[in-house]
Amino acid sequence: MVSAPAMASAPSIPELVARIRAGEVRAGARAMRLVDDRHTLGPALLSALYPHGGRAHVIGVTGNPGSGKSTLTSALIALYRARGHKVGVVCVDPSSPFSGGAILGDRIRMAEHALDDGVFIRSAATRGHLGGLSRSTSDQVLVLDAMGYDPIILETVGVGQDEVEVVRVAHTTAVVLVPGLGDEIQAMKAGLLEVADVFVVNKADREGADRTEKDLRMLQGLGPHPDAASWEAPIVRTVATSGQGVERLAEVFDQHRAFAFDSLQKRRERARYEVESVLRDRWARTVEARLTGAGGATLLDEVASRALDPWTLADRLNEVRGGQA
């Protein structure tokens, strides 16, 4: 964790918040760096920004590697910019095994938007975080929201089987599939069938698009029958490289936005996730400090020598954490 003195020359939190709300890119970038690096000023900054968020439509784009998520995201950026929207993008990339930072593959593929003042693209490293997102993804979304970007597109890392966490951060989750790769079966195995608000059959000009759509509809039919008040995920065909179907996809996103913003259950689920994320992060920091601080090595040596079992140690650490809370 970065210590507070390292930011002695930084603006005060009220000043930084004012600059972020004014849409100043450098202030937004600094705030994202603070929260991603787990700086001690991060929680206070996020707390000050929180009342100014909640207005942007957050769209999650997930799916298996090679499904064209980045190309589709780029096409969506172009469409929303043509409509006059400021677009925020958080691309979650695998971590570099050397630096721990994002590999920046998605940002490279979206280079055509790099000089557009109305687009803010942030690459974030997973840093070992599972679920297809980065640990600080929701924090970065809050900063973009406070800056006035709407929509905000989240593109997950593309690991395939473990990307359902996006549904807790996004208002609308699009699962991207491509013909011929058995993605419909992968969707059922990974749980993506349940989290999808929209299915996108990308590269729909390929042979097998009809079969992919048919299989998806069959899988949807195996699930619970939606009632009049629920949302049944539509299937939209796109060819992201040419822009085919992207406008229709944006229309579906707009329809689901109204549904998601009106849903009290959706808002409660997002609130629960935000609270749980903060608590998990704080507890994890407490345990980490205990294991890396004075006496931590001795405790680990006891476990390594089997003089102490991991469950008993976990109970002790949990008691310490509870006392500090």
pLDDT tens across 146-164, in order? 999 999 999 986 654 445 6
Per-residue pLDDT at 128 exceeds 90: no
Q: Are residues 295 and 199 in the same domain?
A: no
Q: Are residues 208 and 312 in the same domain?
A: no
Cα–Cα dist 107/144, whole Å: 17
Side-chain-facing half-sphere of 44: CA atoms under 13 Å: 9
Per-residue pLDDT at 106 exceeds 70: no
288 within 8 A of 280, measured Cβ to Cβ: no
- Report yes or no on 298 lying in a domain: yes
Has this prediction a pTM greater than 0.85?
A: no
Residue 23's pLDDT band, with cuts at 50, 70 and 90, is very high
Q: Are residues 164 and 196 in the same domain?
A: yes
- How confident is the model at residue 90, as a pLDDT? 92
CA-based R_g, the chain, Å: 21
- How confident is the model at residue 255, as a pLDDT? 94
Q: Are residues 46 and 58 in the same domain?
A: no
- Comparing 176 with 285, which gets the higher pLDDT? 176
What is the CATH number for 60?
Answer: 3.40.50.300
- Report yes or no on 227 lying in a domain: yes
- Cα distances from 38 to residues 31, 195, 229, in angstroms, run 11, 29, 41
Q: Which domain holds residue 316?
A: 272-324
Q: Are residues 203 and 245 in the same domain?
A: yes
Give CA angle at 251 (111, 271), nearest 5°.
Answer: 80
Q: Are residues 135 and 78 in the same domain?
A: yes
End-to-end CA, the chain: 19
